[in-house]
Amino acid sequence: MELDEEVLEEVVKRLRRAEGQIGGVIRMIEEGRDCAEVLTQLAAASRAINRAGFKLVATGLRDCVARPGKAAASEEQLERLFLSLA
């Protein structure tokens, strides 16, 4: 799958944000911070990772359906890609 540079930049930005959030969660756990605070930050990291994955899947699905000169992905393959993040 070849992705647009703009899409890749956006995905990498989201993943770097999640990377920072996960580092923060680890520090919070090591410092013995309140469970609710830790879970809030963990949820934010999880959302950032999910959004990056959804962006890749959405772009990939578009690419799989409309790639000139290549065989289109089957509905089953597309469904599997989508559900891999659900």
pTM greater than 0.85: no
* Six-digit token string for 66: 């409309």
b/e map 9-32, b = 16+ CB within 10 Å: ebbeebeebbeebbebbeebeeee
Non-local (6+) Cβ contacts of 49 within 8 A are 14, 15, 18
* pLDDT, tens digit (0-9, with 9 covering 90-100), for 6-50: 888 999 999 999 999 999 999 999 999 999 999 999 999 999 998
Domain regions of the chain by residue span: 5-83
Domain 5-83 superfamily per CATH: Metal-sensitive repressor, helix protomer (1.20.58.1000)
Backbone angles phi and psi of 2, in degrees to 5: -105, 130
